[in-house]
Structure 1
Amino acid sequence: MDSDRRRMYSLGLMAFILFLSSTVGIPVLPRIAAELEADPTEIPIVVAAALATVVVAQLFTGFLADRYSRK
């Protein structure tokens, strides 16, 4: 497999894993909220905060990847 095709497969796999990591826990959130006696309006805030953290982390990791990647 050539290098460009391998990179594209790797990039696609990483994007899929990121998608799964952000959505796999959503079906169990009501049960977790019930066990923690959390208000149902707090659940979307927690999900949004987690996704915002991913966005901010991607900004920094993208910068670092551009700066220190092989050229």
Structure 2
Amino acid sequence: MKNNPYWEEVKRKVRVRDGHRCQMCGKTYNLEIHHKTYQIGGMSIVGHELEHLDCLVTLCEECHAKVHEK
């Protein structure tokens, strides 16, 4: 999804909402956007993230990796 203007806008909005901080540890660098879910009511939100910003969260690279290990 790199260089995708839509995804760049989604990431910007989520980072601003989350204060440019990892929502798990508070780091302010190496930030990534994590989908808490990819589906709502059996429908994919991929490509419609701007309508579902509550399903996304800012995490640092390390916390994002931890979330995916579980």
TM-score norm. by structure 1 comes to 0.31
Q: Which has the higher helix share?
A: 1
TM-score norm. by structure 2 comes to 0.31
Q: Which has the higher strand share?
A: 2
